[in-house]
Structure 1
């Protein structure tokens, strides 16, 4: 019985908007089931007027559900509001305030408050307040027009209170899950690359700082692999940018299959990727990088009926004891540069920073041509 009129900025359909209408359809079905129970109850206690009133309510919820499935949302919401307010008013006036029918008016409040800006919700909230207050005053002075016996009234009150708690809990849980889902999406947008689904540059840097701190406490090594797709511009120029995007996606999927659970790979920028490998020394990272290179070299990617093959150039570096992350990435980048200048499709390992000559870092690299 809970619903409201959500407002969208710019008229755009959002996930929250869609979820709201899904909830409204579900609540319409639940409300119809509640009215069926009312129908049986009032027939059992000898109150046919209220029984047939619930039959009308069932029909209104059925009509509202059909309207919602056809996306005629405004008429459906008007129908639901009409049913709830009329049902609460008639039930209260016939049976009395102690029946608990007035609780159903309160169920509109949370959905109304979250449905839009204050300008859009003030009028519905004011209507609910005046309707609730007016119904209370009228019930107080007029009394029950068709009273039930004490036992039936107590059962009705318990039933209405139970339904109110159940529906209010469902609504609160719905909005809680919606907030959690939105938080997860925001977190994903903040940490993932939109095209490939890999970690983005900022997220990998955050993870790397945490991993380096942990590794130094436990006296473990951490290594980096910087990889770049060779001649990527030729792929874009020869096959189109959509093909280039799909090559990045395909490569990312292969990278995921190679990485261990504790490894992280990020799209570093353009066609570059950076691997963060905890508990991995220089020999192991070299073997890992070679495995990545061979996996890409052996892969075939089909796009628009054409087979596209591509290769990787890679540079690897193992962090020194007191080396900063930026310096280690710089060494890996230097190693990658040498892989490019010496023919591409190869792995180059950066030497320990203590072995580097200050005049020429290129002379201090070990290349592993393939």
Structure 2
């Protein structure tokens, strides 16, 4: 139950990438369509047909994205159709043997879509095939002749662009990881108690609101229990505040180990803890907390050679549909006060 809430900013990569890809598809669709029209007017019908087919494939990719929101499929469509188009332009020469010059767009697109490692692998396969096509003897398969200097300079330039694109992509990924780690740390500070590593009051209220919404939807019970350590001031006075912190940490561990997976315990403030019991009536919450109390009966907390005995008092309240969270917690606090007034080391109400 004690998990970090969803962070939209941490998913920014997954949110922005599909939109960028969609824009790329639209731009690619328009550019290839315009180039197809130009090739048609220049009586290069084969090139015009290929470019128009590429434009249609980009249109299909955009349709798939808008209809199914399938980023993986649209990525495969646009990336490998781009590769095929580049292979065709290298093989045929395009217009005036300028077709190979378009391959420079492959590196940044591959790295953006598939990331650093997978992108470099794809680029390696791509440039290998391009090299085979360009250096293949014309007596084996007829294709435009490029002079050796042009072919070498083209490959060197492509590798340079690939290196720069890979460096940028690697830096971007490292920056994203760093931001992710920082954001998680800030999340921990915002939602978790730094001493006990339990949820703090803010996170407990977030969880309570979520469970209350589930309770109203499913009509299943929801209970809370407010716990206060008995005579905690005496612990601080007799053993020091560091001992008090050690007591809080050990109790937090005991509480966490004693509740069910769906339950939550939070540090409500000072020496107070709040238990949240989803799908649990007040009577069943009493049974759970009573077991925890029994576990504490003979438990001693060891601190620097000292043996510290502590007990706690607790008040339980079951939330009702017409009751706010504040009202439920105030009611649990009143039961806690009754448990304190009755001699401490008790749970109220009794069932």
The two structures have a TM-score, normalised by structure 2, of: 0.56
Cα deviation for residue 262 of structure 1 reads: 1.8
- The 10-residue stretch of structure 1 (254-263 or 221-230) with the greater mean CA deviation from structure 2: 254-263
Once residues 205 and 321 of structure 1 are traced to their aligned partners in structure 2, the CA distance between those partners, rounded to angstroms, is 17
Instruction: State the match for 1:261 in structure 2.
Output: 261
Instruction: State the match for 2:310 in structure 1.
Output: 310
What secondary structure is seen at the aligned counterpart in 2 of 1:215? Answer: helix
Instruction: State the match for 2:284 in structure 1.
Output: 284
Summarize deviations over 1:134-156 as a string: whole Å, max 9, x none. Answer: xxxxxxxxxxxxxx944432332
Once residues 299 and 157 of structure 1 are traced to their aligned partners in structure 2, the CA distance between those partners, rounded to angstroms, is 72
Instruction: State the match for 1:177 in structure 2.
Output: 177
Cα deviation for residue 164 of structure 1 reads: 1.3
Instruction: State the match for 2:143 in structure 1.
Output: none
What secondary structure is seen at the aligned counterpart in 2 of 1:260? Answer: coil
Instruction: State the match for 1:323 in structure 2.
Output: 323
Summarize deviations over 1:266-316 as a string: whole Å, max 9, x none. Answer: 111110001111100122111011022122333322111111121111111
Once residues 159 and 266 of structure 1 are traced to their aligned partners in structure 2, the CA distance between those partners, rounded to angstroms, is 55
Once residues 152 and 162 of structure 1 are traced to their aligned partners in structure 2, the CA distance between those partners, rounded to angstroms, is 15
Q: Contact 1:268 / 1:274 at 8 angstroms: preserved in 2?
A: yes
Q: Contact 1:204 / 1:266 at 8 angstroms: preserved in 2?
A: yes
Instruction: State the match for 1:153 in structure 2.
Output: 153
Once residues 289 and 232 of structure 2 are traced to their aligned partners in structure 1, the CA distance between those partners, rounded to angstroms, is 19
Map 1:65-84 onto structure 2 (within 5 A): none
Map 1:1-370 onto structure 2 (within 5 A): 149-349=149-349, 366=350
Q: Contact 1:297 / 1:312 at 8 angstroms: preserved in 2?
A: no
Q: Structure 1: which 5+ runs fail to align? A: 1-147, 350-365
Once residues 155 and 258 of structure 2 are traced to their aligned partners in structure 1, the CA distance between those partners, rounded to angstroms, is 64
Once residues 170 and 294 of structure 1 are traced to their aligned partners in structure 2, the CA distance between those partners, rounded to angstroms, is 55
Once residues 194 and 295 of structure 2 are traced to their aligned partners in structure 1, the CA distance between those partners, rounded to angstroms, is 24
Once residues 151 and 321 of structure 2 are traced to their aligned partners in structure 1, the CA distance between those partners, rounded to angstroms, is 80
Once residues 320 and 219 of structure 1 are traced to their aligned partners in structure 2, the CA distance between those partners, rounded to angstroms, is 10
Once residues 210 and 151 of structure 1 are traced to their aligned partners in structure 2, the CA distance between those partners, rounded to angstroms, is 63
Cα deviation for residue 245 of structure 1 reads: 0.6
Once residues 297 and 176 of structure 2 are traced to their aligned partners in structure 1, the CA distance between those partners, rounded to angstroms, is 47
What secondary structure is seen at the aligned counterpart in 1 of 2:266? Answer: strand
What secondary structure is seen at the aligned counterpart in 2 of 1:268? Answer: strand
Q: Write out the 4+ residue segments of structure 1 that deviate beyond 6 Å after TM superposition.
A: none
What secondary structure is seen at the aligned counterpart in 2 of 1:220? Answer: coil
Summarize deviations over 1:118-168 as a string: whole Å, max 9, x none. Answer: xxxxxxxxxxxxxxxxxxxxxxxxxxxxxx944432332222222112111
The two structures have a TM-score, normalised by structure 1, of: 0.53
Q: Contact 1:319 / 1:328 at 8 angstroms: preserved in 2?
A: yes
Cα RMSD between the aligned structures? 1.6
Once residues 330 and 201 of structure 1 are traced to their aligned partners in structure 2, the CA distance between those partners, rounded to angstroms, is 14
What secondary structure is seen at the aligned counterpart in 1 of 2:344? Answer: coil
What secondary structure is seen at the aligned counterpart in 2 of 1:199? Answer: coil
Summarize deviations over 1:102-126 as a string: whole Å, max 9, x none. Answer: xxxxxxxxxxxxxxxxxxxxxxxxx
Aligned residues: 204
Q: Contact 1:289 / 1:316 at 8 angstroms: preserved in 2?
A: no
Once residues 334 and 188 of structure 1 are traced to their aligned partners in structure 2, the CA distance between those partners, rounded to angstroms, is 31
Summarize deviations over 1:84-104 as a string: whole Å, max 9, x none. Answer: xxxxxxxxxxxxxxxxxxxxx
Cα deviation for residue 206 of structure 1 reads: 2.1
Summarize deviations over 1:55-106 as a string: whole Å, max 9, x none. Answer: xxxxxxxxxxxxxxxxxxxxxxxxxxxxxxxxxxxxxxxxxxxxxxxxxxxx
